Amino acid sequence: MNLRSAGPGTGGIAPRARFDSGLPELSLDGDWRFQLWPSLDAAPGGVGAEDFDDSGWGSIPVPSSWPMHGHGQPAYTNVVYPFPVDPPFVPDANPIGDHRLRFDVAPEFLNGALLRFDGVDSAATVWLNGRLLGTTRGSRLPTEFEVGNLLRERDNVLAVRVAQFSAASYLEDQDMWWLPGIFRSVTLLAHPAGALRDIFVRAGYRDGRGELRVEVDGPDAGQVRVSVPDLDVHDLVPGTTLDVGPVRPWSAERPALYDLIVSTPVQSVRLRAGFRTVTVDGAQIRINGNPVLFRGVNRHEHHPDFGRAVPAQTALAELRLMKQHNVNAIRTSHYPPHPDVLSWADELGFYVIDECDLETHGFTFVEWRNNPSDDPAYREALLDRMARMVERDKNHPCVVMWSLGNEAGEGGNLAAMAQWSKNRDPSRLVHYEGAWRSTAYVDVYSRMYAPVDEVETIGRFEDPALADPALDEHRRGLPFVLCEYAHAMGNGPGGLSEYQHAFENSTRLSGGFVWEWVEHGIHRTSPDGVRYDAYGGDFGEPVHDGNFVIDGLVSADRVPRPGLLDFKKVVEPVRMAVDDDWRTLRVANLHDVSDLAEFALRWAVHEEAGQRCAGPLEPVRVAPGDSAVVPLPAEVGDARAAGRVLTVSLVLAQATAWGEEGHEVAWCQAGSVPVEDAGAGAAVTAPRTGDGGLVLGPAVFDPATGLLRSLNGLAIDGPELGLWRAPTDNDRGAAEGVADASVWEELGLHRMVSRTVSVTASADGLVVVRRSGTAGRDHAVDVTYRWSSAEAGLSLAVDVVPVGPWSGSWARIGVDFTLPATLTEVDWAGLGPGPRYPDTGQAQRLGWFSSTVADLSVDYTRPQENGARAGVSRLRLRDPGTGAQLTVRGPEFSFSARPWSRYALAAARHTVDLVPDGRLHLSIDHQQHGIGTASCGPGPLPPYRLTPRAASFELRFT
């Protein structure tokens, strides 16, 4: 096994398109004999021999990532290589997995056959019946060997030795787990003489008409017949271009596909052709002439139990889930996906940036010395990878751009890949973010994590000029995409709305791709039998990047995080608004193609008691890019009143391949949820001494500290000033200097202590002044609590005044209480049902909601601040056993209620570390610091930053 060669794999056939040949296929997936060795030296010789004795071996399923089946351990690094940067060498301690399979074949395979590996991570040597077939490199790319002359009907012996690392590992430094194994299928394909070797369908669209050219490789052209029955195309001569007349073009919104049949005397191949043309016009990406906006996500392939071997139903379900959340584009970060994914993307409708299996990011730590992207020794390998991606995937209309790879620095090999791709397939744009400084060999100006103001500048063509005028002119003519933005790590991403606003208001900005779709958590079970998701460092890796691999819009189990719901709302392709009188609806159609024919409109009016009235609206047709104002039925306007909320929804009129009839795509609301306050304005009572404290209405206070002891008979501690939160991943991020979490720690917000300055009772109530400060520092906050009582309840006015030298930011301004844990039921009027922070929670709606305390929490893989509900005017906590309850009212506050403290939340590393402590921890917040995306990218925008400041707010308790 030569693991030191920088070149591509050996012995395989030339790359070609993936298609269902219509000839017999034999899946070799299933249980194989398997043995893991710690190094090549420790592995036996002769595993390829037919009579090699593997009786002592265990077994493993194929496809699989072997560490997910108890053989070795997963390891996570982001940028850093887990081995010395010493190309093309890798350490001797290099796990070797030997796989062997015995199989029989039907006679059809004896007249010529191909053996296909769809993905082997990372370097394999393959023997069939004792003969060396060759080697594979390029983990996420197929390799096919010609094997017909070697097969026999009975007892064939296939042996595959897989090395975890090789010289090619320097090309596969993607931010993900290192997970070796034969992780995609192995298939035997009958391939008799005269069979089609390759097919290239070039299907363009212009001015309502389709243009078709089909190139084939294999049999004599005279033996091949091409037809598209639905277009009445028969006997198209391969290699000729035909104007097929009027066609329905393919787009992500309307993914029209046509059966295209290629037949020969030995086979009939059915392909799905989509007619579409990708162009750049005036620095704008157009598909079929229409400007498009990518509402995209970056998609890795990961499964919490199977690693890289993602079951087909999981992948298909996640694509449907994307469509249901208004995702219209996928970047296959950072390698070509399982081939079926692209077929589903054709059918369901996604614009795809297909990315090559290439990343050399770890060279950044050695100033990019010896980067393979610029090393002639690796040139052939890079070109081979590009060719294998383009050839495999070229017939998918969903692929609109070829991406050279990710974070591979700069170098001549990249330029060569781009050039090769343009020659072979000029119909798609070439993407590579790493070339953004000059963009010399790419067709799009692509960036990652650029702040929104910079993106806007680029959108106005006001980005600083490049020194080279020719390059500058080239770049100024390019459309712009954010191939990564809105780092979805933990609580967040904050700031989606501002990016979307920028995208929608510049023709040059073609949208972006959130980083990333799925968290790469790995299932584990605690000693108590509770399942949780593990991340980097949990497997004893000496070098790792912790939970940086947990940054998805959905959990590893594909459960949507709040960020996905926000994304769905922020990118909704139709924006609606109701006028103040509820008489008209404005509909702005942001689709690229759709005139809204596939949608229906509905309205509903809710009040606290439930739905008051509802009905359908007349369907609306609006051209893409246009807007219209339509009247609402009189019934709607007539229902308008205080304390009512109108919701208008745009829904699928009929079920589609990804959504049910009635599935909501866009919505808007009008109205309000004011809540009556019975006690407000009633006569005031004075405090008196009794019940072991100071009694004011329903409350008993400690006369010395001025803190509450009980309220309505419920034991309560507080209020304490709260300026801190358990840092989110974004709070911990230091993309722009010092992390907010570090600033808060430095300010001592997490260890504030208080002293009571004064407790003054008067006929009007009770005034408590307390000062909060932090050890060793002289900055403080004076808080004045003015308590008063009217018959039914208790009012509180809070004044917060910073004292001394404050700088930086506060996590929040609020008051904290602890209460009996038996208060397990919650309901509120405000925004819900999910969480909201100043720059997140766009998905939340006005209404009346209920939950349990347990369900308020979001189980982020690494625990952190979560679950605050905002815009609340009334909160009620209830003990279902006794019926005891506490109600808090206010003009608009946010709250969090948890069975553990913020300190426990901050200390926990995994979900299983969080254990209820027997109390209910309630925070009522007047303001919160934004969330931002500083875990990788910009922090909260200035309007969402909570700088130390004076604040006043009022609450009422009953």
Whole-number minimum distance, CB 677 to ligand IPT, in Å? 47
User: CA triplet 422, 424, 258: central angle to 5 degrees?
Assistant: 110
Block residue for tokens 């070149």:
7
Q: Which of 448, 455, 534, 564 binds ligand IPT (CB under 6 A)?
A: 448
Q: What's the rounded Cα separation, in Å, for the pair 195 and 770?
A: 86
Determine if 78 is a binding residue for ligand IPT (CB under 6 A): yes
In angstroms, give the least distance from the CB of 367 to ligand IPT.
Answer: 15
Given 391, 407, 456, 516, which residue is catalytic? 407
Look at residue 429 and give its three-state secondary structure: strand
Concerning whether 825 is annotated as a catalytic residue, the answer is no
The helices-and-strands tally (H runs, E runs) of the chain is 13, 58
Rounded CA-CA distance 783/770 in Å is 5
Q: What is the DSSP string of 892-947?
A: EEEEEEESS-HHHHHH-SSGGG----SEEEEEEEEEE-----GGGS----GGG---
In angstroms, rounded to a whole number, what is the distance separating the alpha carbons of residues 340 and 348? Answer: 12
Q: What is the rounded distance in angstroms from the CA atom of residue 355 to the CA atom of residue 172?
A: 12
The site string for ligand IPT over 921-950 (x = CB under 6 A, - otherwise) reads: ---------------x--------------
Q: Which of residues 463-502 bind ligand IPT (CB under 6 A)?
A: 484, 487
Return the number of the residue (548 or 895) whose C-beta is nearest ligand IPT. 548
Residue 432 near ligand IPT by CB under 6 A: no
Residues 6+ apart with CB under 8 A from 306: 64, 65, 68
3-state DSSP assignment of residue 817: strand
Q: What is the DSSP letter of 706?
A: -
- Distance between CA 830 and CA 846 in Å, rounded? 5
Under rule CB under 6 A, residue 284 binds ligand IPT: no
Nearest approach in angstroms of CB 513 to ligand IPT is 11
Binding residues for ligand IPT restricted to 551-570, rule: CB under 6 A = 551
Helices (H), 671-805: 729-732, 740-747
- 402 versus 513: smaller Cβ distance to ligand IPT: 513
Long-range contacts formed by 217-223: CB under 8 A, 24+ apart:
217/16, 218/194, 218/264, 219/194, 219/195, 219/264, 219/265, 219/266, 223/194, 223/264, 223/265
Closest CB to ligand IPT among residues 141, 936: 936
498 in active site: no
Which among 253, 433, 484, 498 is annotated as catalytic? 484
Minimum gap (Å) between residue 398 Cβ and ligand IPT: 22
* Least gap, CB of 955 to ligand IPT (angstroms): 40
Count, residues near ligand IPT per rule CB under 6 A: 13
Radius of gyration in angstroms for the set of CA atoms belonging to the chain, rounded to a whole number: 31
- The helix (H) or strand (E) run that includes residue 136 is strand 131-136
Residue 66 or residue 548: which is nearer to ligand IPT going by CB?
548
CB of 78 to ligand IPT, least distance (A): 5
Residue nearer to ligand IPT on the CB measure, 176 or 723: 176
CB 922 within 8 A of CB 878: no
- Please state the closest distance from residue 487 (CB atom) to ligand IPT, in A: 6
- Is residue 361 within 8 Å of 410, Cβ to Cβ? no
Give the one residue of 118, 346, 384, 407 binding ligand IPT; rule: CB under 6 A: 407
Q: Indicate the residue among 283 and 330 with the shorter CB distance to ligand IPT.
A: 330
Residue placing its CB nearer to ligand IPT in the complex, 175 or 607: 175
Residue showing the smallest CB distance to ligand IPT in the complex: 175
Minimum CB–partner distance for residue 322 and ligand IPT (Å) = 19
**Minimum distance of ligand IPT from residue 937's CB (angstroms):** 8
Amino acid code (one letter) for 347: E
Residue 794 carries which side chain, given as an amino acid letter? L
Rank residues 549 and 813 by Cβ distance to ligand IPT and give the closer one. 549
Contact pattern from residue 155 through residue 184 relative to ligand IPT, giving x for each residue in contact according to CB under 6 A and a dash for the rest: --------------------x---------
Residues in the chain: 958
- Over the window 22 to 61, marking each residue x when it contacts ligand IPT by CB under 6 A and - when it does not, the resulting string is ----------------------------------------
- Distance separating alpha carbons of residues 34 and 160, to the nearest angstrom: 10
324-383 residues near ligand IPT, rule: CB under 6 A? 334
DSSP state at residue 170:
G
Q: By C-beta, is 334 or 396 nearer to ligand IPT?
A: 334
| Candidate list 183, 515, 787, 810; residue touching ligand IPT; CB under 6 A | 515
Considering only residues 183, 449, 485, 893, which one is a binding residue for ligand IPT as defined by CB under 6 A? 449
What residues act catalytically? 407, 484
Which residues contact ligand IPT (rule: CB under 6 A)?
78, 175, 334, 406-407, 448-449, 484, 487, 515, 548, 551, 936
